[in-house]
Amino acid sequence: MRPAHLPAPLALHRYDHLDTLVENRTVYTLDAFELNVFETHQVARRVPLNLGSLVLTTMLRGKKVMHLPNRPAFDYLPGESVIVGEDKTMEIDFPDATEAAPTQCLAVAIPTETIRYTVDLLNERYPKAESHSPWQLCEAAHAHLTNTPELTGTLERLIQLSQATDAAKDVLAGFTLQELLVRLMQTQARQLIFRDYARHLTTHRFAHVVSYIKQHLTENLTVDKLSGLACMSKATFFRVFKREFGITPVEYIIRERLSEAKRLLRHPLATVADVCFRVGFNNAGYFQALFKKYEGMTPGAYKKGLLVNG
């Protein structure tokens, strides 16, 4: 089963129908945005690309090495996205691309006015937990992202709309593009607070909550307790947390426990039952059902795969 954070690769062009072997481009133009699909079928170095607008790129197949202004080069793999600022040139290496194993990447060019309108709307009507940290789409920090299931789902709807013949597709695409921007900002917020919480303990109440969850993962973590740590009512905490990160506090706890479970399952002597209780679940059937829902396989199958690939 395909992981939830990895969009389905699109059909490749026949080799004899390609215009070029490096960054062969297919364009879908809608009123709200432009969707580009790039394929590369041979090794290439330092290929420049500039689409003018701010661009969200998402890897579907293969591997690239990205060179962005003012930052070190980095590997770019399926399940990841990169935001490239307006009128910024990216340079791309294709170290492994071949006819049999090409790279494939999406690039959504987003108009500046759409970004500005969406950010202003969120800050006016749906402010974040901390007034010093308003909604914004970061083009430099946190520009290289690991996709979330929510971001991936929105990207897949954009792809479907780009290829649709529905007369209303441009209207639907406009709403979906705004959702994409929200999902992007939520993904960046997760990267900032969930991964780098230690740097923000004194300036962001949710960083304090995340720290507590990580330190007490095996305990009974109630929304009452967590909302108290955030100095919010239970209802406000639940609502603002989900708005800011795109998932509920309960979903975050589940994902943290499953992440720890995957780490523990890598130990050759660890059993599924033992791992279940060590990460805070008290029902093995519930643990297995959640693991399969989020990871696409049972914990036993996950462990078996680790041993086989070992």
pLDDT tens by residue, 75-115 = 999 999 999 999 999 999 999 999 999 999 999 999 999 99
Q: Among residues 185, 53, 148, which one has the least CA distance to residue 107?
A: 53
Whole-number Å distance between alpha carbons of 237 and 214: 18
Identify the bridge partners of residue 38 per DSSP, sorted by sequence position: 25, 105
164: in domain: yes
Q: CA 213, 215, 217, 218 torsion: positive or negative?
A: negative
- Cβ neighbors of 303 (< 8 A, separation 6 or more) are 265, 270, 272
Give the structural domain span for 161.
15-193
Q: Among residues 211, 200, 214, 205, which one has the least CA distance to residue 255?
A: 214
- Cβ neighbors of 221 (< 8 A, separation 6 or more) are 213, 253, 280
Write out the H or E segment, with its range, that includes residue 145.
Answer: strand 144-146
Is there a single domain that holds both residue 108 and residue 202?
Answer: no
Whole-number Å distance between alpha carbons of 257 and 294: 11
Q: Write out pLDDT tens, residues 250-287.
A: 999 999 999 999 999 999 899 999 999 999 999 999 99
3: in domain: no
DSSP string for 35-49: EEEEEE-S-EEEEEE
87: in domain: yes
Is there a single domain that holds both residue 240 and residue 279?
Answer: no
2: in domain: no
Please check the confidence at residue 303 and state whether its pLDDT lies above 50: yes
Is there a single domain that holds both residue 179 and residue 144?
Answer: yes
Sheet order of strands, 144-146 included: 24-29, 34-40, 103-110, 54-61, 80-84, 144-146
74: in domain: yes
pLDDT band for 309, please (50, 70, 90 cuts).
low
Q: Are 209 and 226 in contact (CB under 8 A)?
A: yes
Is there a single domain that holds both residue 216 and residue 127?
Answer: no
Q: Phi and psi dihedrals of 146, rounded to 5?
A: -90, 125
Q: Phi and psi dihedrals of 292, rounded to 5?
A: -65, -40
Number of domains in the chain: 3
Is there a single domain that holds both residue 270 and residue 205?
Answer: no
> Count of CB atoms within 10 A of residue 235's CB?
10
Q: Write out pLDDT tens, residues 6-62.
A: 777 789 998 889 999 999 999 999 999 999 999 999 999 999 999 999 999 999 999
Q: Among residues 98, 94, 27, which one has the least CA distance to residue 59?
A: 94
Whole-structure pTM value: 0.89
- Where is the domain boundary, 247, 262, 279? 247
